[in-house]
Amino acid sequence: MAGHIRILIVDDSPFMRRAINSLLEGEKDITVVGFAKDGLDAISQVQDLKPDIVTMDIEMPVMDGLKALKIIMEKFPLPVIMLSSLTEDGAEGTLDALDIGAVDYIPKNLSNVSLNILKIKDDLLSKIRAITVKKYVFRQYEDITAVEQTSLEENTDGKNKINIVAIGSSTGGPRALQDVIPKIPENFPVPIIMVQHMPKAFTGSFAKRLSSMSHINVIEASGGEMIMPGTAYLSPGDKHLSIEKAGREGIRITLSNEPVDLINRPSVSFMMESVAKEYPGKALGIILTGMGSDGLLGMKKIKEGGGKTIAQDEATCVVYGMPKVVVDAGLADTVLPVYKIGSEIIKEIMG
């Protein structure tokens, strides 16, 4: 998006409005065009000011952020970043907002708002700039709760058989995963390992929500469990997830704080590298929408080992960052819109 990024700040707290404004006012490419104190005010301001992007609190008087977001998405669709509390209720509200159409969220710690505001500055600025690089396509995904079951016949040719699926995502990932995973049939013969950049307070709620709309079981990994076919395992938000052989018992999940020098925890690449090691030539790596380059090294390991790779296309990404570096490096066997990736996974497993 050329020129200044025009932002509307929506929050019922005068302190929060001033604090967010102070984070943005020194940025040469960003202009705060207005403030709204509740959801009703936000709708009016969006209509009048036509901002490029909105930051919005969820809990507000008169009209809350979720109700306002729904109306904005229906009448004046534009990118909205939610400010969400790190609580169970905050997680549910954030996931509701992402379902309605918010492109991302910034978690805030209500126990020390002043300190938290300083901590979120880099995250907020990078997300604002990444999300407004291109005009985001506000596509209404098909009714993912009504996807028909697909009968899956396993590929009996062991030479090219995929025995595990590894998926990595970040900004825009929850919505993308809700498009991909519900297409997987109940009798899916291999496990799925997933890393989504998300706070620990959110991953458990997201796993339950994704499971409720899917034919397979989706769980937040607890560490030590043996991976099973027809189950998707989501890394908790504060741990690195990897897999390793457990003797004759099979393959188990390991959670760890190490390594500490990686930018993201959980790390997509760290997970994928372990998948490539344990399933050489038998892994399918998938990189979905997200900011940055996490997943590049992991996809490289999967491809070098003889596995298959898929990247989400630019048109359906909220942020074309993680898939872009994979595609630019020549590591994507297939590049697809997100709504075709689920069926492509089934095709790869069937051989």
CATH of the domain at 171: 3.40.50.180
Identify the weakest region by mean pLDDT among 88-97, 154-163, 217-226, 243-252.
154-163
Q: What is the dihedral angle through the alpha carbons of 12, 18, 19, 21, rounded to the nearest 10 degrees?
A: 110
pLDDT category at 122 given cuts 50, 70, 90 is confident
pTM of the model: 0.89
In percent, the amount of the chain with pLDDT more than 90 equals 77
Give the residue numbers marked as catalytic.
170, 197, 294
Identify the weakest region by mean pLDDT among 60-69, 114-123, 137-146, 206-215.
137-146
Tens digit of pLDDT for each residue in 265-290?
999 999 999 999 999 999 999 999 99
Q: Is residue 260 part of a domain?
A: yes
Q: Looking at the structure, tell me whether residues 165 and 201 fall in a common domain.
A: yes
Q: Looking at the structure, tell me whether residues 271 and 227 fall in a common domain.
A: yes
Instruction: List, in sequence order, every beta strand (DSSP E) within the chain.
Output: 5-10, 30-36, 53-57, 80-85, 104-108, 164-169, 192-196, 217-220, 231-234, 240-245, 251-256, 283-287, 308-312, 334-336
Q: Looking at the structure, tell me whether residues 71 and 166 fall in a common domain.
A: no
Q: Looking at the structure, tell me whether residues 105 and 207 fall in a common domain.
A: no
> Given a cut of 60, is residue 45 above it in pLDDT?
yes
Q: Which of 77, 102, 131 is the last residue of a domain?
A: 131
Residue 124: domain span: 5-131
Q: What is the mean pLDDT of residues 321-336?
A: 98
Distance CA 332, CA 340 (A): 15
**Neighbouring-strand partners of residue 82:** 56, 105
Distance CA 347, CA 183 (A): 12
282 with 162: CB under 8 angstroms?
Answer: yes
Q: Looking at the structure, tell me whether residues 227 and 285 fall in a common domain.
A: yes
Q: Looking at the structure, tell me whether residues 108 and 198 fall in a common domain.
A: no
Q: Looking at the structure, tell me whether residues 176 and 248 fall in a common domain.
A: yes
Q: What is the mean pLDDT of residues 311-321?
A: 96
> Given a cut of 90, is residue 17 above it in pLDDT?
yes
User: Is the Cα dihedral 245, 249, 251, 257 positive or negative?
Assistant: negative
Q: Kindly list the distances between the CA atom of residue 13 and the CA atoms of 33, 56, 59, 69, 121, in Å, as whole numbers in the listed order.
A: 18, 11, 10, 18, 18
Residues in Cβ contact with 11 at an 8 Å cutoff, skipping those fewer than 6 apart: 17, 20, 35, 36, 37, 55, 56, 57, 60, 83
> Given a cut of 70, is residue 351 above it in pLDDT?
no
177 with 167: CB under 8 angstroms?
Answer: yes
Q: Kindly list the distances between the CA atom of residue 69 and the CA atoms of 55, 65, 140, 206, 218, in Å, as whole numbers in the listed order.
A: 11, 6, 15, 20, 28
Q: Is residue 143 part of a domain?
A: no
Q: Is residue 53 part of a domain?
A: yes
Instruction: Determine the pLDDT at residue 156.
Output: 46
pLDDT category at 249 given cuts 50, 70, 90 is confident
Among 197, 184, 162, smallest CA distance to 276 is for 162
> Given a cut of 50, is residue 233 above it in pLDDT?
yes
Q: Per the structure, how many domains does the chain have?
A: 2
Instruction: Determine the pLDDT at residue 159.
Output: 47
Tens digit of pLDDT for each residue in 135-165?
555 554 444 443 444 445 545 454 458 999 9
HSE of 44 in the Cβ direction (CA atoms, 13 Å)? Answer: 8
- Altogether, the residues listed in the chain come to a count of 351
Q: What is the mean pLDDT of residues 8-19?
A: 93
The DSSP output letter for 199 is -
Distance CA 210, CA 207 (A): 5
Please tell me whether the peptide bond between 174 and the residue prior to it is cis, using omega within 30 degrees of 0: no
Distance CA 168, CA 270 (A): 10
In percent, the amount of the chain with pLDDT more than 70 equals 88
Instruction: Determine the pLDDT at residue 76.
Output: 94
Q: What is the dihedral angle through the alpha carbons of 218, 207, 104, 80, rounded to the nearest 10 degrees?
A: 100
> Given a cut of 60, is residue 95 above it in pLDDT?
yes
> Given a cut of 90, is residue 331 above it in pLDDT?
yes
Residue 77 backbone dihedrals phi, psi, to 5 degrees: -55, 125
Instruction: Determine the pLDDT at residue 136.
Output: 54
